[in-house]
Amino acid sequence: MTMGKGANVPVPAQAVRVELGWSAGSGVPDLDASALLLDARGKVRSDDDFVFYNQPRHPSGAVRHEGKSTAGAAGTDTLTVELAQLEPEIERVVIAASADGGTFGQVPGLYVRLTEAGAAGGGDGREIARFDPADASGETAYLLGELYRRQGAWKFRAVGQGYASGLAGLATDFGITVDEPATPPPGSSVPVHPHSPPTPHVPDAPGVQAPPLPQGPASPGIPHVPAPSVAQPSTPQPSGPQPSAAQRPAAPVRLSKVTLTKEAPSVSLTKQGGTSGTMRVNLNWTAQAQQPKGLAGRLSRAMGVLTGPDLDLCALYELTDGRKGVVQALGNSFGSLHRAPFIHLDGDDRSGAVETGENLTINLDHTAELRRVLIFVTIYEGARSFAGLHATVTLRPQYGAPVDFSLDECTVPSTVCALALITNENGELIVRREARYLVPRRGVSPQRTVDQEYGWGMQWTPGRK
């Protein structure tokens, strides 16, 4: 149903997928979707009620930023709103968009679309509403519409209000406290990530093995790295009942980010302020809900139908002392954050159903010991290629602006994709967008294919997880 500005429609669904769409192309700004959860005052209760690229999940889990995809000339960024899970004090969910590198007057084909959300937030349901704003001009932020409660039911209203003050101005109007990127305090150290499981000890498990270490005590080949023997620091827990979201003081949110493209594929983490602490690398993906019909469908099936593939986020590393290895779920080679290789894989998302996707963490306090790190992803099972897969890669330094980019549509029978190459160039960490789909030769593993393409020179044996 196509709506006019100011119109409203009932939303007869427990969960909806909100799709921001536009026609991408040369000279067209990149767009980002966001949501603000408002109470009866028309304000957020705290900065936690702002869901966007730097804060992709509401603490309640009811609103999530799912990420972008680009297929040909069509760009989309999506949110999932679980209406049934929204806290009772939330009266409205404002849907907004911001333009990066231009204004909305330069964006053709702008629209917002609501569909019933399927399993795991997928967008395979029927269309509920669609709004195509036609009066955008010099604005850099846009209030597209809002979901709101009315007599116990939810409705959607098309708004179409622009903000020349950008996302910061729009967010501030609803009570968000906006801050500039922080700089690390003197003598700061790496905190233990609350979602990171302890690094497992891997006793000669079958899996990928690397050449023997050129120095240090005798041990199995990399990727086995022993876990730290010292106790990890714990965060003191305050006594007494915890304050609610409405009672917590506002913590400033950071709106700055860097988006890598084919035209501008690299950025210096050092110049962005990412010189210490941790950096979290996230891969989030969705697969197309339905296969296309006709010739396109036959080609997709020939390349491999994506029905819940098991993707593995991995990292090849080379240290300045010459040691090389891999961090991956295969062979339980999860790495270590506080000892070499200073890279830790958080876990293994076997289906893409985990809301946060797959993550690994890099300890930037040991930048001087890292020569290069290649982040890549493989298909372990469930598909024969990346066809129909829409993925977003985000690197979030503890200090400094986050870096993100989307993968292009896969048009080859690839089972491994090189995502990003991080290199230490005279003490300066450079991140380069690779986004390269590689096609392994017959009998050659995806890991060996990446190794050969980037000249790592490791020895590989079959492994399982």
pLDDT 10s digits, 336-381:
999 999 999 986 554 444 445 689 999 999 999 999 999 999 988 8
Structure tokens at 259: 């988006």
User: E strands of 167-254, at which residues?
Assistant: 178-179, 253-254
The continuous run of DSSP H or E covering 302 comes out as helix 294-303
Among the residue ranges 132-146, 308-322, 396-410, the one predicted with the least confidence is 396-410
Q: pLDDT tens, 26-66?
A: 888 889 999 999 999 999 999 999 999 888 889 999 999 98
Mean per-residue pLDDT for 407-418? Answer: 90
Q: How confident is the model at residue 194 (pLDDT cuts 50, 70, 90)?
A: very low
Q: How confident is the model at residue 465 (pLDDT cuts 50, 70, 90)?
A: low
Tell whether the model's pLDDT for residue 413 goes beyond 60: yes
Residue 150's contacts (CB-CB under 8 Å, 6 or more residues apart) are none
Q: pLDDT tens, 101-144?
A: 899 999 999 999 999 986 444 545 789 999 999 888 889 999 99
How, if at all, do strands 178-179 and 253-254 pair?
Answer: parallel
> Cα dihedral angle (372, 462, 347, 196), rounded to 10 degrees?
-60
Q: In b/e form, how buried is each residue of 319-341, taking b as 16+ CB within 10 angstroms?
A: beeebbbbbbbbbbbbbbbbbbb
Angstrom distance (rounded) from CA 309 to CA 315 = 19
Q: Token pair 């035209």 is at which residue?
A: 263
The residue among 117 and 326 whose pLDDT is bigger is: 326
CB 139 within 8 A of CB 161: no
Angstrom distance (rounded) from CA 390 to CA 47 = 29
Omega prior to 252 cis, within 30 of 0: no
R_g over Cα of the chain: 23
Give just the sign of the alpha carbon dihedral 376, 382, 385, 389.
Answer: negative
Tell whether the model's pLDDT for residue 92 goes beyond 80: yes
Mean per-residue pLDDT for 163-187? Answer: 76
What pLDDT score was predicted for residue 180? 53
> Cα dihedral angle (362, 365, 366, 368), rounded to 10 degrees?
120
Structure tokens at 197: 């499981």
CB 420 within 8 A of CB 95: no
Q: How does DSSP assign 111-177, residue by residue?
A: EEEEEE--GGG-S-S-EEEEE------S-SEEEEEEEEEETTEEEEEEEEEEETTHHHHHHHHTT--
279: β partners: 362, 397
CB 173 within 8 A of CB 320: no
Angstrom distance (rounded) from CA 337 to CA 191 = 10
pTM over 0.75: no
Q: What percent of the chain has pLDDT over 90?
A: 47
CB 318 within 8 A of CB 372: yes
Mean pLDDT across the chain: 79
Mean per-residue pLDDT for 294-304? Answer: 49
Angstrom distance (rounded) from CA 147 to CA 153 = 10
Length of the chain: 465
The continuous run of DSSP H or E covering 458 comes out as none
How, if at all, do strands 416-425 and 428-438 pair?
Answer: antiparallel
Three-state secondary structure readout of 56-108: CECCCCCEEEEEEEEECCEEEEEEEEEHHHCCCCCCEEEEEEEEECCCHHHCC
For residue 288, how far is the Cα from the chain centroid? 18
Residue 82, number of CB atoms within 10 A of its CB: 17
Backbone φ, ψ for residue 129 (5° rounding): -160, 155
Give just the sign of the alpha carbon dihedral 178, 183, 188, 191.
Answer: positive
